[in-house]
Amino acid sequence: MPVITRIVSVASFATPSTWQVETDRGAASLILKGEEDIRRLTPPALLIADSHGIHFLIRDRYALDQPSQRILDRFP
pLDDT by residue for the chain (76 residues), tens only, comes to: 999 999 999 999 999 999 999 999 999 999 999 999 999 999 999 999 999 999 999 999 999 999 999 999 998 7
Q: 3-state class of 74 per DSSP?
A: coil
- How many domains is the chain partitioned into structurally? 1
What pLDDT, on a 0 to 100 scale, did the predictor assign at position 76?
74
What pLDDT, on a 0 to 100 scale, did the predictor assign at position 75?
85
15 φ, ψ (degrees, to nearest 5): -95, 150
Q: 26 is in which domain, residue-wise?
A: 4-73
What pLDDT, on a 0 to 100 scale, did the predictor assign at position 21?
98
What pLDDT, on a 0 to 100 scale, did the predictor assign at position 70?
96
